[in-house]
Chains A and B, each alone.
Chain A
Amino acid sequence: MGVDVWISILISICAASTPLLLAALGELVSERAGVLNLGVEGMMIVGAVAGFATAQVTGNPYMGAVIAVFAGAAFSWLFAFLTLTLVTNQVATGLALTILGLGLSGMVGESFVGQPGIRMEAIHIPVLSDLPLVGQLVFGQDLIFYISIALVFGVSWFLFKSRAGLTLRAVGDSHVSAHALGINVIKVRYLAVLFGGACAGLAGAHLSLVYVPQWVEGMTAGRGWIALALVVFASWRPVRVLVGAYLFGAVTIAQFHVQAQGVNIPAQFLTSLPYLATILVLVLIARNRRLTMINTPSALGQSFVPDK
């Protein structure tokens, strides 16, 4: 295989990994604040349909991505209102959010089925994007890809280097103590959930505007659940989420190449390989139990009612 084929493969891997990375980062922040939102799949698909519909109507895929971010956040607000204000069970509400999102998106998107979408084209920087070898890979991809990479470091910095991040982690570890310190637990959690929704929305927009520019019901096909699993296996560390998402993407793409080469390995095994490899590697990374426990938000999934 020539070099340009390898570049093309690497770009495919980026495309496969970006939506997982975005959705998982958003969920990571939400879970770090102690809120387990199982509605990632639902928020993602709402973002996908909102982004696609907006792009079709306005003719502008960037506008689509912006609206997808707002749609994801708005949808997650519903979750936040139910679980934080009305103190419903997070697991059940998250599942309901996913079911609602899948159904609602199907209804909203019905008139857009069968329409070829508008692709968010890769950016093009004169000279840099035309560099041999790395040009297209590093400087010639779609905007959402760059946002996802920037967010890994942004979230990392925010959580571990900023005061606001410390507050957020405190809320996730012990909402009672945080409350006693005068932190507005509910407000912090609202913001964290909204961020998670916004990221999931953008992940959805990547699917319907970059990955496969079309709208079909259920097009997320379980990616929200993979993102959720990534957060846990990455033991709530942003850089590990990056490793996990890219590993999953890379093995997904690689196994297709192995199949296309006609290598004599059962296809069923190969298609399950991304899951196996990602779990194995992330479990190995997180094998220090003490460190993992430190990273696990202790108040994850617990409801909090501030005493008045």
Chain B
Amino acid sequence: MKNLVIALAASAAALVSTAALADGHAKTKACFIYIGPTGDFGWTYQHDQGRKSVEAAFGDKVETAYLENVPESAEAQRPIEAFARSGCNIIFTTSFNYMDPTNKAAAKFPDVKFEHATGYKREHANVSTYSSKFYQGRYVQGQIAAKMSKTGVAGYIASFPIPEVVRGINSFILGAQSVNPDFKLKVVWVSTWFDPPKEADAAKALIDQGVDILTQHTDSTAAMQVAAERGIKAFGQASDMIKFGPETQLTSIIDEWGPYYVERVKAVMEDTWKQQDVWHGMAEGNVVMAPYTNMPEDVAKMAAETEAKIKSGEFEPFTGPIMKQDGTEWLKAGEKSDIGTMLGMNFYVKGVDDKLPQ
């Protein structure tokens, strides 16, 4: 069914393209491929806020377009190529598994710039990759969780076992263990980025299993609502979800894509666009923490201090000594992880009560 939607959307995009070409490329066209709906109030919502920043920054000089609910499979290639044909000058593909389709499309359209979020393949000169160091925020959350939890167990609703998600889980448990070395983390995989009822089911299961802090790496606000209903605390994801849990949300990692999108579209306009691989974090303002709420002052203070240290570069979550889940040593005391290991992270650190799906 989804294929049909995409086919229709693609042909619609193609129709628009002929109209766009007629006015002689007066405007720079920036296009976005989204995994979910813009109204998910999470991941896609934040990317769309970024798109709106581009419109706000350049006004008449820019035209934007987006496609929602594009599946993360080879199917994604058609809408990406349809965008390229329709006169888009730069295309942002905003989910991990658009990696191969993006690179394939880039080979066919060398004049179009491609920006792939959270991936690592740049097979052609016109592909850049960009990501955010969300894991920095996860470390802060882990510390808060360990301070706030009475049971000493937090629950983690995870989507797919890709490096970005694994990195978040590891960083969370490292943060928690820095406060309470015995802290435990239960992980549940839902195999989807966006399915509010399923996310709610996972949240209920985790709470029934005795966790009293919830965190998630999925895109809807469902888990926050379940936590509120059951009277436990939770962390928001991707955007500030305080409205869904005024007495529940401890903080949230907010993804700020706007500055990056504005910068890259500007580069296309001025013809200075170059291939790059950026991984911005708190220091660059890409990862922002929502206000620390529903916690005692000393916990909020600790969180703010850790945040400031990460921001200034004084501290990095993946700094040794860190043991892997199986008990072998990963990083010696004081040793920092190299970027490659972080980007391809496929193992748990000690303390995660789960077997990583391979």
Residues of A in contact with B (beta carbons under 8 Å apart): 1, 5, 8-9, 12, 15-16, 19, 41, 95, 98-99, 102, 106, 109-110, 113-116, 119, 207, 211-219, 221-223, 225, 252-253, 256-257, 259-262, 264, 266-268, 270-272
Within the assembled complex, what's the spacing in Å between the Cα atoms of A266 and B189?
A: 10
Beta-carbon contact of A5 and B208 below 8 Å:
yes
Beta-carbon contact of B222 and A214 below 8 Å:
yes
Beta-carbon contact of A109 and B191 below 8 Å:
no
Beta-carbon contact of A218 and B36 below 8 Å:
yes
Within the assembled complex, what's the spacing in Å between the Cα atoms of A275 and B18?
A: 44
A113-B39, A214-B221, A262-B354 are known contacts. Are A207 and B197 too (CB-CB below 8 A)?
Answer: yes
The 4 closest A-B pairs by CB, nearest first: A217-B37, A256-B205, A267-B189, A113-B39
Within the assembled complex, what's the spacing in Å between the Cα atoms of A12 and B202?
A: 10
Beta-carbon contact of A221 and B39 below 8 Å:
no
The distance from the CB of A58 to the nearest CB of chain B, in whole angstroms, is: 20
Q: Per-residue CB proximity of B26-68 to A under 8 Å, as 1/0?
A: 0000000000111111000000000000000000000000001
The distance from the CB of A115 to the nearest CB of chain B, in whole angstroms, is: 8
Beta-carbon contact of A267 and B191 below 8 Å:
yes
Beta-carbon contact of A216 and B243 below 8 Å:
no
Given contacts A212-B199, A212-B220, 11 further A-B contacts (CB under 8 A): A99-B4, A109-B39, A113-B41, A217-B37, A218-B36, A253-B201, A253-B205, A256-B201, A259-B187, A268-B357, A270-B189
User: CB-CB < 8 A to A256: which residues of B?
Assistant: 188, 190, 201-202, 204-206
Beta-carbon contact of A216 and B41 below 8 Å:
yes
Within the assembled complex, what's the spacing in Å between the Cα atoms of A271 and B157?
A: 13
Beta-carbon contact of B1 and A266 below 8 Å:
no
Beta-carbon contact of A257 and B41 below 8 Å:
no
Q: Does B69 contact A (CB under 8 A)?
A: yes
Beta-carbon contact of B191 and A260 below 8 Å:
no
Within the assembled complex, what's the spacing in Å between the Cα atoms of A218 and B194?
A: 9
Within the assembled complex, what's the spacing in Å between the Cα atoms of A9 and B188?
A: 16
Q: Does B192 contact A (CB under 8 A)?
A: yes
Within the assembled complex, what's the spacing in Å between the Cα atoms of A32 and B251?
A: 51
Q: Does B355 contact A (CB under 8 A)?
A: yes
Q: Does B330 contact A (CB under 8 A)?
A: no
Beta-carbon contact of B196 and A98 below 8 Å:
no
Within 8 A of A (CB), among B1-28: 1, 4-5, 8
Within the assembled complex, what's the spacing in Å between the Cα atoms of A64 and B195?
A: 22
Contacting residue for B243 out of A116, A253, A262, A270, CB 8 A:
A116
User: CB-CB < 8 A to A259: which residues of B?
Assistant: 187-189, 205, 354
Contacting residue for A216 out of B37, B186, B206, CB 8 A:
B37
User: CB-CB < 8 A to B211: which residues of A?
Assistant: 260
The distance from the CB of A237 to the nearest CB of chain B, in whole angstroms, is: 25
User: CB-CB < 8 A to B198: which residues of A?
Assistant: 221, 252
Contacting residue for B195 out of A41, A115, A221, CB 8 A:
A221
User: CB-CB < 8 A to A261: which residues of B?
Assistant: 209
User: CB-CB < 8 A to A211: which residues of B?
Assistant: 196-197, 200
User: CB-CB < 8 A to B258: which residues of A?
Assistant: none
Within the assembled complex, what's the spacing in Å between the Cα atoms of A219 and B205?
A: 20
Q: Does B279 contact A (CB under 8 A)?
A: no
> A9 — nearest CB in chain B belongs to which residue?
B208
Beta-carbon contact of A212 and B5 below 8 Å:
no
Q: Does B119 contact A (CB under 8 A)?
A: no
Beta-carbon contact of B243 and A114 below 8 Å:
yes
Within the assembled complex, what's the spacing in Å between the Cα atoms of A5 and B195?
A: 24
Contacting residue for B208 out of A12, A225, A268, CB 8 A:
A12
Q: Per-residue CB proximity of B91-127 to A under 8 Å, as 1/0?
A: 0000000000000000000000000000000000000
Beta-carbon contact of B186 and A95 below 8 Å:
no
> A16 — nearest CB in chain B belongs to which residue?
B201
A12-B205, A259-B188, A260-B186 are known contacts. Are A110 and B39 too (CB-CB below 8 A)?
Answer: yes
Within the assembled complex, what's the spacing in Å between the Cα atoms of A109 and B39?
A: 9
Q: Does B163 contact A (CB under 8 A)?
A: no
The distance from the CB of B213 to the nearest CB of chain A, in whole angstroms, is: 14
Q: What would be 11 A-B contacts, judged by CB atoms less than 8 Å apart?
A: A12-B201, A12-B205, A16-B201, A95-B4, A116-B243, A216-B40, A216-B221, A221-B198, A256-B188, A260-B206, A271-B189
